[in-house]
Structure 1
Amino acid sequence: MNKPPLHILIAAPRGFCAGVDRAIKIVELALERYGPPVYVRHEIVHNRFVVDRLRGLGAVFVEELDAVPEGRPVVFSAHGVPKAVPDKAEARGLDYVDATCPLVSKVHRQAERMVEKGRHILFIGHAGHPEVIGTFGQVPGGCMQLIETEEDARTVSVKEGAELGFLTQTTLSVDDTAAIIEILKERFPQIESPRGEDICYATSNRQAAVKAIAPQVERMLVIGAPNSSNSRRLAEVAERLGVPARLIERGADIDWDWLGTPAKVGITAGASAPEVLVREVVDALGERFELTEEEAEHEPEGMTFKLPRQLVA
């Protein structure tokens, strides 16, 4: 039988960012340095394929430090951890390696500086996300309030005369965050902004890439984990532009009834999704369609982050 034709337009940039690359490399180097098992507090990044591969190399993923045996090293995830976590590791005499993305660490430092200046922080982010928990854990309790929506920004109550600042999670929707910030600045004209943009370059670039290809396609497949904030935002960006989108973890997750027989489909991948999964999705489409493939034009990303000295010395 003849396969129906399908043109796939692949977003660029997509997939791994510098922070994810660094975090995965840290676990690999820790395994080389210490030998398995190396313990990792929480998923190193939000991607099951990546976590399972590292587990196969000898990484053991745990929720809390209490599960790390004496004498074994532990790696903290790319999302960052509250200050209490390394403090507890030191108190137990554990060797630990911090794989927090440097762009998340930058937000942590800004939070500390704002609080030192006596400012109360309105933090834009998603409740329960590891990055939010880690950032709140950088400053004393009560110094920060969470803003999740435009409605929160309109109704948040702060102490009269309080000096304010705002910060954001690094993996948010660029457009949603801009709208929330506009409301906060309207309500609190003296609110202090972060130095530079908190939303990371990779999140912004991947959302812009989806916006560039969305008008040309009928469906959008976003490769990423359901608990990956930046991946979920990519699907939302497409949907808001009127393009039905699905978040899938890999090729076997494609809903063929939903996909139908479009002429053009867009593909992108969140910052924690490896390129091998993009190829897997393309191969799955190739089993049912006669494919032509095009990668969107883009400016290449050249960002890299240094590895911890203890692993490269």
Structure 2
Amino acid sequence: MKTKAWLNAVRLRTLPLSVSGILIGSGLAAMYGATDWTIFFLALLSTLGLQIISNLANDYGDGIKGTDNDERIGPKRAYQSGELSSTELKTGILIAVVLTLLCIGILLYQAFNGLPEFFLLFTVFGALAVWSAIRYTVGKSAYGYKGLGDLFVFAFFGLLSVLGSMFLFTKYLTLAAVLPAIAIGLLSTAVLNLNNLRDHNSDVQAGKFTLVVKLGMRRARQYHYLLVVGAFLCMIFFIALNASQWYQTLCLLAFVPLGLHLRKVSGVVEPKKFDPELKIVALSTFFMALFFYLGFNIFL
């Protein structure tokens, strides 16, 4: 058994961030009086499945292209280190896709039984999400190598994750819900941007033209400030307009470590020092989403 190798390929530390959009979307639905534990847990499982597909595909795609090499600063990947072969990774991706599609199918049946138009629409969204998770680094036209990763992360892990999960419960959307959806999208993109800041030198050598490579380190750092500050402003506006209890403001505490994080980012000289900041942004985003969910659902 290669349990440790598979856990390495799955990248457990990325999973909390992936469910942040579901927590926010479910909290929004609860704010409007719509809750369903079955939909909630199926949505969590579906999102975890998509993240695992993305992680395995990224390990495979960057591995066979040679992007993950000895010059790379971050944790060793399963294919790069020889722990898993390309065939094993492809098998793992296939299994993850099948299980995730099954989970998505059950989720959509539970949410839209008797509403075929919504079922079909979200089936398309689910298929696009799976395609996006794989094509980030896999294939000759992998969009992650063309600087489009930020756009896809913002769209799928921000807008679609939050607004889509809210719609599963409510069957409608509101203008106010767009603010936290944008916030999660911006913070998820910030995590990707940090990853690309860390890997800038090896990406340049491998011909992986991320947005950081295209912008340059100085502008990419400025872009990072805009992502985090933009998320903060979106959440401030949403809370100011919608919070009715003091504990619903607790989600904003997540921006304290994020503020400290920006100070550290401004002083980073060696790319490897961006790596610890990934965990700070990811966990801060997760806890913001968790407190949001609790404030607008459990304690409401």
Bin the TM-score by the shorter chain.
under 0.3
User: Which is strand-richer, 1 or 2?
Assistant: 1
- Structure number with bigger Rg: 1
TM-score by length of 1: 0.27
